[in-house]
Amino acid sequence: MRMPVLALLLATAAPALAQHAHHEGAPAQSHAIGMNQRWAAPDVDVAAWVARFEAPDRDVIANRAAIVAALQLAPGQTVADVGAGTGAYLKALSGAVGAKGRVIAVDIAPAFVAHMAERAKAEGLANVTARLGAADNPMLEDGSVDAILSVNTFHHFEKPEAMLKAMRGALKPGGQLAIVDFDRESAGATDHQRQMAPLDKAGHIRLIEAHGFRLVEDVAIPSLRQNFMLRFVK
């Protein structure tokens, strides 16, 4: 349990951290809003985004198995993939929690949600459900999930402070939040990725811990060249 004085310090620091993140990430936030509107459009080309999101040489696709393994999920658990996109991680997460577990795939794009629902059915992933989220809330019930995974999505959160609050509320006591996102300081990161990422790894840690999480692991995946993976607990 956190000491009262620490809670006070975190409460005092959080607004300043949020203001700093907002200022530092203003161009990235503008990009995020534009992309989110594009994905939510009724005429979004889902097939084109499947090809783009799930390209085999993409860092988070090539390392998908290692990322899911690092979550250390147990059979029977419930995991939410927030910002699941076209569902690239559904099969791996489904296998990790087993038939008695649950995978909740959340995205703000209705077309992506419909695609993931069809994909789960076609691939026989009976423990997967797809759900429409909001820009400031993944729309998960309080205390309902053991783990939340967010891959290359944190930099698209228009309201990261509100999302962190909602995700913390959705986690069970001791539940984990895993963030995989662009590493601005990585030699493998592209200029475009650096422009999209409003915070470096240390900035992510400060912001997320200021909202009631504790870092438990800076996951080392040697072949993850453009991204970092951080595991927090509630």
Number of compact structural domains in the chain: 1
Question: What percentage of the chain reaches a pLDDT higher than 70?
Answer: 86
Q: What is the mean pLDDT of residues 187-212?
A: 86
For residue 174, is pLDDT > 80? Answer: yes
For residue 23, is pLDDT > 50? Answer: no
Say what the pTM is: 0.84
pLDDT (0 to 100) of residue 189: 76
Q: For residue 91, what are the domain limits?
A: 4-233
Helix then strand then coil, in percent of the chain rounded to 5, is 45, 20, 35
pLDDT (0 to 100) of residue 187: 76
Q: pLDDT tens across 94-152, in order? A: 999 999 999 999 999 999 999 999 999 999 999 999 999 998 999 999 999 999 999 99
How many beta carbons lie within 10 A of that of residue 108, not counting itself? 23
CA distance 72 to 165: 23
Query: What CATH number is associated with residue 202?
Result: 3.40.50.150
Q: Vertex 152, ends 116 and 105: CA angle to 5°?
A: 25
In angstroms, the Cα distances linking 10 to 35, 54, 66, 160 are 32, 38, 33, 16
Instruction: Please report which confidence band the pLDDT of residue 52 belongs to, taking 50, 70 and 90 as the band edges.
Output: very high
More confident: 216 or 199:
216
CA distance 143 to 30: 32
